[in-house]
Every structure is written in structure tokens, then in C-alpha cells.
A and B are shown apart, each in its own frame.
Chain A
Amino acid sequence: MSFRGFLLRDHFDTLLTALHKLGAHCVGPTVMDDSIHYTTLTSSTQLPQQVHDHQGPGHYRLSTSTESRWFAWANGAQALKPLVFVPQEILWRSERDSEGNLQFSNSKQEPPLTAVIGVRACDLAALALQDQHFLDGLEQDSAYARRRQQLILIAVNCTHPSANCFCHSSGDGPEVKQDYDLLLDELDDGFAVRSASPMGEKICQQLQLEALTNSQQDEIKHANLRAIEQQTKHLPEGNLEQALKNLQGSGRWQQIAERCLSCGNCTAVCPSCFCHSQHDEPAANSMSSAHIRQWDSCFSHGHSYIHGMVIHNETRFRYRQWLTHKFSGWFEQYGRSGCVGCGRCITWCPVGIDVTEELHALAEEYDNV
């Protein structure tokens, strides 16, 4: 998409005003509890000011700097996932009357129009994966569909990938290419703006945009190239889909299991993981019951429970399920890998297991057999 113009930093709040005028609830990144979270945004002063992030295996720290930019960091623990596939929600309710008759109902509540500011390339790629899973399968997930419809996506190109980012290698970033409404490139004094949808156009019309200079455009190109160069991690070359199918009996799984705590942090922060479980919560008077779905993880005991046994009864089988699903099973299920290179599973793993390192070790084993 071509540039629509340049939004001065001092005018950034006009973007929020424009979104509010459209009836949207704005969500964006803010610093909370020493990390960056998406939260309701009413003013640009809530955006991370003078903040850099430092990530490594099992490591996340924010530091203050003289940085004038607001998006000079890579990512926090959350992606878009909690906004569309929420951690817990009621799927349906049942009511029982005194004669034992049952009535079932589900909520058809319209979620509010929600504009997310600061969406990264990996987030959009993961959203496209979740769309495939929740919307394009055998049956649509109506709760997901309702929220998804109400999203306005205001993306930002990454200029400061973290040491755990490998989206260039996965083919998903760092540059945002599609599936956004507005796209911002941050420069010192403001933001270059692109639009890729009727909604994006509508918003642009409300903004005071200046003309973009050639040197600004050059600066943006360079920033993109620098962001690619800064990425140090990458996925192994070759056919991981086949390699992992063949390596189900590898001794590597046990080696990983000796470090892995089976805590499920990796699946909770993974922007594409979709597993969930369901349970009932009956009301105290036992006349009604809520059927609830909740995020689950293939690292949990219950995930593979069938009566009398747990199929993935050891950590090595759980890690194998996770890695094999993400980097092999997804191809058959959704035509590509389930990994978008955001590096969250490396950062938020309490023992710092690095998925790229494990894949390199497995790929090497595959090449040698």
C-alpha cells in the first residue's frame, strides 16, 4: 500500500479521537508490572515512554532510556489472541426447571468495536492462523467470529526486534505487509501512515496528515532492513514437517524433558495455540449451569486424559506434541507452520528453553540419519 501521509507525534491523539468518534474502544500497549501489556488507551501519554525491552531465553526486562519513540521495543507477553480467543468465556447456559426440563441458550452479545494500536507483523500473522482455525474449519466458532468482526487493526512496523525474534526467518515479519486497517512507521517526529481497508480510509479522513518526504521514505526502508539484520535467531532450513514426523522416537525429547517444567507458559503466550477445555459451573441453587471454555495447554495433565490413562503421561510426550504440532501438524491442518517467529515461548519459558535451538538439534539429527 502507498503512504497516505505523515502524522505528527503531537497530533497522535487525533487518531484516538477519530477512533472514538467511530465508536471504537481503543486498546494499546502500556507499561504495567514491569512489562508491556495491552490495555484501554485514552491518551498517547499511556504509551511506553522512553522504554526499551531486553529479551533472552527465560528473560524479560524493561529499561528506561532517552528514547523519544513509543514503539522502540519488540513485544510483550500478549498478542491479539486474548482479544478474540479470550482466556475464559461462557459458551452456553442450561436452565433446569422444577420438573427437570432443560433449556439451553447461548449469548449472542455484540462485543464492542475495538481498535488495537501497535499490532506487529507477527501478531497479524498469528491472527490469520487463528482465523483459519476458528473461522474456516468444519464449524465456525461464533464467539471468536463476533469479536473478530469488531477489530480495527492499527499496525506498527517493528524497528527494535528483540534477541528472541525470528519472524524474518519464519516469513512473517518484521515488515507488515497485509491484513491491517492502518499501518504506522514511527520516525522521530511522528508516524508515516498507510491504509489498507475502507475502515483505514475512514480513519485517515479524520487525521491531519502532512506530505511524506522522500528522505522520510528512505528512512523507513532503512529501518526495515535494519530490523531484519538485527534478528539473530532463525529456524533450521529444510523440511521440518517431515523431519519431525520421522523423529518421534528421538532421544532429544527426553533431554528437553529434563529441563522442561511442563508449565504450559509457552502455549499460553503462543499467539497461535488454540487449545481449550470446557467445564460446567452450576449455580448454587442448581437451577442453572454455565458451560465455560478456558484456555488449555497440551502440557496439562488433563489435555490427553481418557478414562484410566493420560496419553501424554510424561513431559517428553507433551513437549513432543507441542513442537510436532506447531512445526509439522500445522502444515497438514492449515497449510503452513504454526509458528510466526515472535519468540514469546523463548522469553517466557521459566527455564529458557529455546525452540529454535531445539529445532536445530532435531534437524541436525534428521540430516544425520
Chain B
Amino acid sequence: MFDRQTPHEAIVVRRTQESDTIFSLGLRFSDDELNQQYRFQPGQFNMLYVFGIGEVPISIVSDPQSTDEVIHTIRTVGRVTRVLEKLKPGDRLGIRGPFGRGWPLASLQHRDILVVTGGLGCAPSVSIINYIMRRRQQFGRMAIIQGVKHSEDLIWRERYKEWMQLDNTQVLLAADVASHGWPWHVGLVTELLPQLDLDVSQAATMMCGPEMMMLATAKQLLEKRASAQNIWLSMERNMQCAVGLCGHCQYGPDFICKDGPVFSYADVQDRLPRRNI
């Protein structure tokens, strides 16, 4: 394993604008040996470094088996992401990782899968969907519930429409506020749970997005006899070091950077209802 505490130079090999504020960067290490060594799991993240400005934690959305580029989907929000947004193919940045524990996908083969995400382009869930779509026959039924604040925030509308056509796959979309012509649900993601045509008590559920959304969803699933060990969620906190040293990402006794970001609901249900932890 190589040094994960100092960045390594990487080159932007591809840039895609996904929406007004969301873009994807495909990256490769300049040192080809690092490309060979670098391995990750869906749900893990990297620290991306912009020269002279700083680092940010960003999830990896590409497939763990495709080694030609490591893809990150990023929303422009502040100091570092604003500079990342301006990068073009050929530009350089720093990268270190991968960090944390990802989704338990390897142990979920043949299971029914429910993915619930809220918020803009929730990257950790994209890694799950991408992973399963490439190995569709290894999993059972798949349902995706995606919620956005405003219908205009939905990215990859075409992809969702394609997935809706697939066998054994259900896609349910919701917007808190919808503009004219939004054909799907207006309201909260939790309101879509009764429409699921899979047995949530047997399925493995993976979630990311606002904590209160994940809490409300988990509670409803438990009422439908899902077990807390079968629900996973991805958490976020401020991160500086990503290796369990700086203390910023503490969530109760856990360090999200190394004990997470993916936790089983059973592990965090004592804390999740309380904001400000």
C-alpha cells in the first residue's frame, strides 16, 4: 500500500458537465505504477488536492474493476470545489486515498437491493448503482428511490429513464418542489416506500443523503420488519486527514473517515436521531 498521507500527482483525463453545478472528473495517477497499485471499494473516498488551496473528501463513483480512470462526481459549493470545477483534461491535481469502509456489496450477492438517496447527485449511491448495473445478474431485484429538493436538481434523468425499463428494476423519483411537467412524485422519498415491489424485510438497503431523511426511511423500514443490520448508510462530517488522526470527523466514538463513511444502521441508531453530534 502506498503513502495515503501525502498526495500523489494525478491528471484529469476526462471532464463531464452533469448539470449546472455538478461535474465529473476522471483521474489517472501520473505515475503508472500507482495506477496498477491503486484499488478501492464502492463507497470509499479520496482526498482531492488543489494546489495552494486545500483538500476535500470526494467519493469514488467509477467501477472498482476499471483501472483506466478513477471518476469523481462533484458539486461546486465552495473554495476547493470551485477550483476543481475549472479543471480541464490535462490539468494536474493531487490525490490520496482510498479511505474508509465502503458498501458491503461483495456480501450482498443474490440479495434484493434498495437504494435510497436524497439531495443533489448523491455520489456514494451512484457508486452502488453503477456497480450493480454492471453485474446485474449477481443481484436480485433492485429498487432505487431518489429524492431531490427541486425537480430541476435531478441529474441523469435519461439514465433513470433507461433503468426504469430494465427487468427486475424499479426506479421511483420524488421532488419536494416540482416544476410543470414533472411526471413523478411530488413530496418526500419516504412517501414512496409503500410503492416498492420488493420485500424490504429481506432486502439490503443502502442510503445516503440528509441525515433526517435517512432516519425517517430507516424507521419506516424497521416498521416493515427490516433489520437494522440490513440497512447501511453513508455519513459525512468535516474531514482533514482521512486517516483517523485529526479528530474532525468524530461521530460519537467513531471516526467516519476510517470506521465509515458507510455504517450499518444498527451501529449509529443511538446517535442518528440527535442532530448536532
> Which of B52, B236, B270 interacts with A286 by CB under 8 Å?
B52
Residue A202 at the chain B interface, CB threshold 8 Å: no
Residue A361 at the chain B interface, CB threshold 8 Å: no
> Which of B9, B51, B78, B241 interacts with A307 by CB under 8 Å?
B78
In the docked arrangement, what's the CA distance between A3 and B84, Å?
63
Residue B274 at the chain A interface, CB threshold 8 Å: yes
Across the interface, which residues of B come within 8 angstroms of A249, CB to CB?
A: 274
Contact between chains at B6 and A104 (CB < 8 Å): yes
Closest to A275 in B: B247
> Which of A104, A141, A306 interacts with B245 by CB under 8 Å?
A141
Contact between chains at A280 and B53 (CB < 8 Å): yes
Closest to B56 in A: A307
Residue B106 at the chain A interface, CB threshold 8 Å: no
In the docked arrangement, what's the CA distance between A307 and B119, Å?
13
Residue A37 at the chain B interface, CB threshold 8 Å: no
- Closest Cβ of chain A: how far from B85's Cβ, in Å? 14
In the docked arrangement, what's the CA distance between A305 and B244, Å?
17
Q: Indicate whether A317 sits within 8 Å of B276 (C-beta atoms), given known contacts A276-B240, A325-B250.
A: yes
Dominant SS among interface residues on chain B? loop
Contact between chains at B245 and A308 (CB < 8 Å): no
Residue A349 at the chain B interface, CB threshold 8 Å: no
Dominant SS among interface residues on chain A? mixed
Residue A312 at the chain B interface, CB threshold 8 Å: yes
Across the interface, which residues of B come within 8 angstroms of A311, CB to CB?
A: 237-238, 275-277
Q: Count how many chain B residues have C-beta atoms less than 8 Å from C-beta atoms of the other chain.
A: 40
Interface 1/0 per residue, A301-344 and B, CB below 8 Å? 01111111001111001000100110011111100000000000
Contact between chains at A103 and B247 (CB < 8 Å): no
Residue B8 at the chain A interface, CB threshold 8 Å: yes
Across the interface, which residues of A come within 8 angstroms of B243, CB to CB?
A: 137-139
In the docked arrangement, what's the CA distance between A53 and B252, Å?
37
In the docked arrangement, what's the CA distance between A276 and B241, Å?
9
Name the residue among A103, A282, A307, A317 with the largest chain B CB count within 10 angstroms: A307
Contact between chains at B245 and A101 (CB < 8 Å): no
Residue B4 at the chain A interface, CB threshold 8 Å: yes
Interface 1/0 per residue, B234-267 and A, CB below 8 Å? 0011101101111110101101001000000000
Residue A277 at the chain B interface, CB threshold 8 Å: yes
Q: Indicate whether A104 sits within 8 Å of B247 (C-beta atoms), given known contacts A279-B54, A308-B77.
A: no
Residue A106 at the chain B interface, CB threshold 8 Å: yes
In the docked arrangement, what's the CA distance between A276 and B244, Å?
11
Q: Determine, out of A89-97, A163-171, A218-226, A230-238, the stretch whose residues face the partner at the interface.
A: A89-97
A-B residue pairs in contact (CB < 8 Å), sample of 8? A102-B9, A248-B277, A274-B245, A296-B246, A296-B247, A296-B248, A313-B276, A328-B253
Name 12 extra pairs, CB < 8 A, besides A138-B243, A142-B5, A330-B253: A96-B51, A100-B91, A139-B5, A139-B245, A278-B246, A279-B54, A303-B248, A306-B237, A307-B77, A307-B78, A328-B253, A329-B250
| Interfacial residues, chain A to chain B (CB-CB below 8 A) | 91-92, 94, 96, 100-106, 133-134, 137-139, 141-142, 245, 248-249, 274-280, 282, 286, 289, 293, 296, 298, 302-308, 311-314, 317, 321, 324-325, 328-333
